[in-house]
Amino acid sequence: MGQILSNLWSWICPKPRNEAPTSYDNQGNYQTFPHDVKQPQTHIINIPDHHFDPILGSGRNEIIESYDNNKLSDPSSSDIVVDLSSGYEDVKRKEKKKKAVIDDGDQVIEEVVVLEKKVTTRISHVSSVKKIGLYNSSQRILLVGEGDFSFSACLAVAFGTCAVNITATSLNSEDFLIKNYTKFITNKTELLTRGSTVIHDVDATKMAKHPILGCLLFDRIIFNFPHTGKFGRNDTDQRTHKNLVRGFMRNAKKMVKEDGEIHITSKSNGFFLEWDIPKIGSDQGLNLIKEVKFTRNKYPGYHTKYGFGGDKDFDCNPSKTYTFTLSLK
């Protein structure tokens, strides 16, 4: 009976010869397929994938398997090819064998969807460490006995935004420095605007007990041209200079890191040689690892001022920088 009704309906409502068979897809959408489809249809779809990260390699071609749970039902159906041969990364991602098969009786229509993504990334490494002379911005630096603060300011300018590791100190008060050094305010501003720390009234022979500095450790502790303001060649005057250097070293060794360095720069002629800085360091249990010629031109903007007042520069040639450590390197 059912066959009879079916034949009767076909006779009453015949199907046009050229009309394509119809069906519904998996989402319930109405679809029409042409009669003459004999080969699978392929569609290229570009899909932005914000969850896909380029994979860094070591400079050779690598094939790495991966998949995205949001897009692939089978992990084995996806692969990532990373081409690093030219210094760049070409990443291609393909999804294969994702099929929608529709059986129309006589014909099988198969849709193959291919997902393709290509990403090119340029990689560059920029060092953020700034250097000048013997120093760099990665070091925590303490400077003592500053005059017009031109040496610490030249380091801050060289380090730029990395100058936060600089702590510059002076024996004299801020009022004294303003009255005696015309460039002091400018130099201090260079330090403060770059995040450096400036502290006044710091005695280098007692700084280990300073309420702020005494709690810190430094990679480099620097004392340029220590001098008491006495120019006599008698034993009494010479002793004051030696006591200044000795007191500085005694305190500095308590404030320097185990792998840090203590730097003293001094003139290397005349009565300065009588101070015998290497011996003073040895007496304090420090190791002299090197002494190098000091060249002021390596520190643009630095002016060698008398620390006891006066805005004149003194001749710093010839001079040496002595480097001491807690242990031999």
Collapsing DSSP states into helix, strand and coil, what is residue 103?
strand
Q: Is 255 within 8 Å of 169 (Cβ atoms)?
A: no
What letters, b where the CB count within 10 A reaches 16 and e where it falls short, cover 95-122? beebeeebeeeeeebeeeeebeeebeee
* Alpha-carbon span 71 to 249, nearest angstrom: 67
Confidence of residue 85 (pLDDT cuts 50, 70, 90): very low
Mean pLDDT of 212-241: 94
* 108 vs 133, higher pLDDT: 133
Bridge partners of 80? 64, 93
Residue-wise DSSP of 34-56: -TT--S-EEEEE----TT--PPP
3-state helix, strand, coil in the chain (%, to 5): 25, 30, 45
What pLDDT, in 10s, does the model give residues 249-300? 999 999 999 999 999 999 999 989 999 999 999 999 999 999 999 999 999 9
- Residue of 170, 202, 206 lying closest to 305 (CA atoms): 170
Q: If pLDDT is split at 50, 70 and 90, which confidence band does 310 have?
A: confident
pLDDT tens digit sequence for 121-159:
454 445 589 999 999 999 999 999 999 999 999 999 999
> Rounded to an integer, what distance in angstroms lies between the CA atom of residue 198 and that of residue 219?
17
Who contacts 120 (Cβ-Cβ below 8 Å, separation ≥6)?
88, 89, 90
User: Which of 93, 96, 88, 98 is CA-nearest to residue 64?
Assistant: 93
Q: What is the CA radius of gyration of the chain?
A: 39
In the chain, the domains with their CATH numbers are: 18-119 (no CATH), 131-325 (3.40.50.150)
Q: Which residues contact 94 (CB under 8 A, 6 or more apart)?
A: 78, 79, 114, 115, 116
Beta bridge partners of 64: 80
More reliable by pLDDT, 7 or 325: 325
